[in-house]
Structure 1
Amino acid sequence: MKIMKGMLQTGVLVLFISVSLLGEEAYAGPGESQKLYFGIEINGVLCGYSEISLSPLVQDGKTMTLLKQNTFAMLSALGSQFNTDLKLTYHIDPVTGRFSYHDSDITQGPTKLGSVISVTGDTARFTSTPGNREVKIPLPPEVVFENTLSFPHLLRDFVQQKLDQKTYEILEVRDAEVQKSTYTRVGTEKLELAGSTYNALILDKLNQKTGLKVRMWLDLESGYLLKATAPGNRISYRADPSVVNRIKMADVDASILAKANVTIADVQAISYMKVKATLEPSGLWVTQEGLNVPGQRFAGTINDNLIEGVFEIEHKRYDGAGAPAFPPDFGKDQSVKKYLEAEEFIESDDPVLVTKAQELTKGSKDSWEAARRLNKWVAENIHYAIPGGATARKTYDLKAGECGAHAILLATFCRAVGIPARVVWGCMYAPNYGGVFGQHGWNEIYMGPAGWIPVDATAAEIDCVDSGHIRIGVLQSLVTALNPRKMEVLDYRAGSARMGQAPEGASDKYQAYVGEYTNPANKSVMKVFVQGGALALDVPGKVVLALNDPDEKGVWRCKLASQLFLKFDKDGSGKVVEMQLHQVIPLPRRSGPPEENGGVPERLRPYLGAYLLAARQAEFTVLHQDNGLAVYDPLEKKTVRLRLPDNEGRWVDEFDKNAVSFDRDGQGNITAMNIDSVTRLRR
């Protein structure tokens, strides 16, 4: 069975295409319709397109412009591939340029987000799905309704009135609030796009709430957008219809990862780190106060969200001293009130999630024990997958998600039992690709007098975070992106490992295992060595992993992810001759056996059904075949027979390579299938 084997411990919060595209009501006159096409490039790769249709619309006796936009992009992040599909609708007044109705639907793998905005008078009503939460947005008198059609206010102020800079209050539709953005004149330029020549005004837009920067090229005659660029090497531009058939997959890792200059296997052991960083994040307005928090110091400059300076991180483990009672009572503490309430993605009023949180925390001696129980459950039961479920409930149902999904679910669980919690984000050192800093989300949990305590469910850090975490701030917006430029580690401590330390020699207990191991199938070589006083595995070009000492069964588990482990085989003389690399891939059950028996023996029937590999959005099906079980692999498009289970309940496949096991709940019902994928390497 072909299973993705990438170790993906850094993650993204919410990845989606958010590009402004052009249009102008002059394209669609009375009774006319028009289609426009645009290309989307990321990191120099044409990976997406937008198709915009413009047509007249009569609404309440008034002629409006109907804009429908479909955007499609093919992306990959951290080895996972996914498509993004964005659909937008606007009802626009052709005289004022203001819209009275807008809806959007974003689909990215299993993630589905939707919203509707309707405007009446001085109020906009925003409804989001899933959840159907409604927010009423008061609109100031001078509010601007920007859209993907035209920008008449910019034409008026920067062309007709010749302004150099102006700040507007703009209704930002996805964040459901009015935010200030400043436009600054850059100059003019002649553009050749889709076979036409345009004279363009160049403007820089800076959102003062999220820090998002966009450079725009506007047609000097009509005021519509010809081209736009954004951080992360994203660009959109006018194209011809052939763009639909020319797109390829783009890797967005450069937007969320920065190569580091050191390789540290035992990430959880990082107790101190000093990093020289250049970042230009979006998602919040960065301040010195936000970067200087307990456990983290920053010395440097911040210029319109461009961060240049040195971070020193040294988190101390909280021991639970003075933790609030459980259940807690924070009702009178207004400073944490917002971190107790349900939000669009943090559905802490969902009955299923409330019941689960109460079940997990029952009998806790204080709020810290309750929080650790919740974190442990998320770390052990929510498996890593990109893209994730986005909302807490979807993540809980899928039992999978990226780091943002882990953090959102943990915050939801905590709030559901009265413990203030929030999602924070920034970056984390990870052992991928020889060492990187990757965009990452984690949690801070409020413990009364002890303040906000950072924890990380994705990295299985139940009561702390390692000091490879650099905090940017509290999660506020869907346009969150790290946009790293350069990251240089100046110093670190990780167990006994130090910056610039010579390679460690192997102690007697590790000497027998140290060396190179070769995969006979593809001749690739993996190296086992010692770092920081522990055994480590180097998978060249992919990841370096620290290992726990072996358990009673001789299993060496990865410290970051227990589902990845090693076993060593010895010959008759006791010499290690082979290494087995195991990765256990959990597939939550999506559906049970069919109601009809179909001649299936009762002892086999409970196993039948569909099981989801969340990382690939692929359903594996357990079938009855040849008086036994078989698994249909949709990735390989083949069926693999399973032998009868051994004494440990493992169903080994017909090739004697991989093994399948099943999880059950307290009532004995099967809840998941686990595929133990094994690679054997000779020493």
Structure 2
Amino acid sequence: MRARVQHTLTYRYSTPVLLGPHRFCLKPRGHGFQRLLDFRLTISPQPSWLYPLVAASGDEILRARFFGSTDHFEVRAISEVETQWPPDLLQCLEDREPALPYPVGQLNSDLAGSLQGWLPNGQHDPAAVDLAQEALMGSDQRALMFLQQLVEIIQDRVKYTQRHVGPAWPAGRTLKERVGSCRDLAMLMIEACRCVGLPARFVSGYHLVEPKPERYDLHAWAEVYLQGAGWRGFDPSGRGAIDDRYITLATSSKPLLTAAVNGSFSGSERVESELEWSIEAEVLDGDLDAGVGSLPFNSVGSVPQAVAVSGNLP
């Protein structure tokens, strides 16, 4: 699929403010199953310094510093991206599908951050452990069957709801509330995967669903590392294994580090801020590599999801 996406965020302030340092995760991934054809970022007021850096996840993010006061702040990213279907998981793994729970000591130490538990002492949320154990039942300890059952259980237990503000909930809260946004469901899957030794991380991006909705939103899903296949995307609020209609912006073991815009401002005690945002997307060319797909999961159809621009926003 070849697509063009325009993502605009506009902040307005009741009185002039000073903008602090900002971090932007708006540049789509340019490697793997996704190729970045064009990217343009405009910022008003113009930063005094704007520079790229490669994050720990390998994604390119941008940092900016500002000088002077302003009563508005606008960020517009225009991207043209080409995506393709990932190779079939069964063919990639052949007869080497990992058995679960996977021994952590056999994994590359670079993946350690994607195995840590949610609790401050590094242990896993008991609710996530229970969910993982349930998904293991009947999976014959096979990784792909475990992932399929995990997606099905999450979709059966948790009802999707839009939630535009606040960070992703931990597994225990999502299961207790029985409702959650796409980022909550993604974190639920991530925590359960880590409990059985599967490295997992949070992904922020776009899902260009069909039919085209009235309004596109940011979307969140999970990436799971499978030896022999590498990082592969799974959407627990969609169809499971992702296809070529997903566009990745940023990944991290910590969801807050994938926020589209993260920064701060300083002003008077009574200053008020207002945010308007829009995502416009156009598919320029459909399935570029139809017929070569990843493992299909049997689940309900995908629906447009929303994930807030999280973090300490102006």
TM over 0.5: yes
C-alpha distance 314-456 of structure 1, shift in aligned 2 (>3 A): same
**Aligned 8 A contact 2:118 2:170 in 1:** no
Q: Determine the structure 1 residue equivalent to 2:89.
A: 318
Match of 1:452 among 216, 219, 231: 231
Which secondary structure state, in structure 2, belongs to the residue aligned with residue 327 of structure 1? coil
Gaps of 5+ in 1: 1-41, 47-191, 194-199, 212-279, 497-547, 549-556, 562-683
C-alpha distance 390-492 of structure 1, shift in aligned 2 (>3 A): same
Cα deviation, residue 490, structure 1: 1.0
Q: Determine the structure 2 residue equivalent to 1:357.
A: 132
- Within a 5 Å distance, the mapping from 1:133-212 to structure 2 comes to 203-207=18-22, 210-211=23-24
**Aligned 8 A contact 2:38 2:80 in 1:** yes
Separation (CA, whole Å) in 1 of partners of 2:236 and 2:225? 16
Separation (CA, whole Å) in 1 of partners of 2:222 and 2:187? 8
Which secondary structure state, in structure 2, belongs to the residue aligned with residue 449 of structure 1? coil
C-alpha distance 312-437 of structure 1, shift in aligned 2 (>3 A): farther
1:53-112 per-residue CA deviation (whole Å, 9 max, x = no partner) reads xxxxxxxxxxxxxxxxxxxxxxxxxxxxxxxxxxxxxxxxxxxxxxxxxxxxxxxxxxxx
Gaps of 5+ in 2: 1-9, 42-49, 51-61, 63-75, 262-276, 291-297, 304-314
Q: Determine the structure 2 residue equivalent to 1:385.
A: 161
Separation (CA, whole Å) in 1 of partners of 2:209 and 2:197? 32
C-alpha distance 435-356 of structure 1, shift in aligned 2 (>3 A): same
Match of 2:103 among 329, 339, 346: 329
Q: Determine the structure 1 residue equivalent to 2:287.
A: 493
Q: Determine the structure 1 residue equivalent to 2:68.
A: none
Which secondary structure state, in structure 2, belongs to the residue aligned with residue 331 of structure 1? helix
Separation (CA, whole Å) in 2 of partners of 1:479 and 1:443? 12
1:592-635 per-residue CA deviation (whole Å, 9 max, x = no partner) reads xxxxxxxxxxxxxxxxxxxxxxxxxxxxxxxxxxxxxxxxxxxx
Separation (CA, whole Å) in 1 of partners of 2:161 and 2:209? 16
Q: Normalization by structure 1: what TM-score?
A: 0.30
C-alpha distance 436-340 of structure 1, shift in aligned 2 (>3 A): same
- Within a 5 Å distance, the mapping from 1:594-633 to structure 2 comes to none
**Aligned 8 A contact 2:128 2:192 in 1:** yes
Which secondary structure state, in structure 1, belongs to the residue aligned with residue 217 of structure 2? strand
Matched positions, count: 228
Cα deviation, residue 432, structure 1: 7.0
**Aligned 8 A contact 2:202 2:220 in 1:** yes
Q: Does 1:421 align with 2:159?
A: no
Match of 1:560 among 302, 305, 308: 302
Match of 2:247 among 463, 467, 470: 470
Alignment root-mean-square deviation, CA: 3.6
C-alpha distance 485-372 of structure 1, shift in aligned 2 (>3 A): closer
Separation (CA, whole Å) in 1 of partners of 2:129 and 2:217? 32
**Aligned 8 A contact 1:348 1:416 in 2:** no
Q: Determine the structure 1 residue equivalent to 2:265.
A: none
**Aligned 8 A contact 1:403 1:441 in 2:** yes
Separation (CA, whole Å) in 2 of partners of 1:296 and 1:395? 31
Cα deviation, residue 479, structure 1: 7.8
- Within a 5 Å distance, the mapping from 1:8-27 to structure 2 comes to none
Structure with the larger strand share: 1
Q: Does 1:411 align with 2:149?
A: no
Q: Determine the structure 1 residue equivalent to 2:311.
A: none
**Aligned 8 A contact 2:33 2:83 in 1:** yes
Separation (CA, whole Å) in 2 of partners of 1:297 and 1:324? 29
Structure 1 counterpart of 2:32, one-letter code: P
C-alpha distance 359-204 of structure 1, shift in aligned 2 (>3 A): closer
Separation (CA, whole Å) in 1 of partners of 2:99 and 2:111? 16
Structure 2 counterpart of 1:377, one-letter code: I
Q: Determine the structure 2 residue equivalent to 1:399.
A: 178
Structure 1 counterpart of 2:89, one-letter code: Y
Q: Determine the structure 2 residue equivalent to 1:368.
A: 144
1:482-507 per-residue CA deviation (whole Å, 9 max, x = no partner) reads 765643321113999xxxxxxxxxxx
C-alpha distance 409-480 of structure 1, shift in aligned 2 (>3 A): same
C-alpha distance 417-479 of structure 1, shift in aligned 2 (>3 A): closer
C-alpha distance 353-477 of structure 1, shift in aligned 2 (>3 A): closer
Which secondary structure state, in structure 1, belongs to the residue aligned with residue 256 of structure 2? coil
Looking at both structures, which has the greater relative contact order when contacts are Cα pairs under 8 Å and sequence separation is at least 6? 2
Separation (CA, whole Å) in 2 of partners of 1:408 and 1:311? 26
C-alpha distance 417-366 of structure 1, shift in aligned 2 (>3 A): same
Cα deviation, residue 480, structure 1: 1.8
Cα deviation, residue 404, structure 1: 0.2
**Aligned 8 A contact 1:430 1:436 in 2:** no
Q: Determine the structure 2 residue equivalent to 1:291.
A: 29
Structure with the larger helix share: 2
Cα deviation, residue 296, structure 1: 0.8
Cα deviation, residue 560, structure 1: 3.5
Separation (CA, whole Å) in 2 of partners of 1:495 and 1:558? 23
1:341-386 per-residue CA deviation (whole Å, 9 max, x = no partner) reads 11369x8612232133113213524222222221221123211113
Which secondary structure state, in structure 2, belongs to the residue aligned with residue 325 of structure 1? coil
Cα deviation, residue 413, structure 1: 0.5
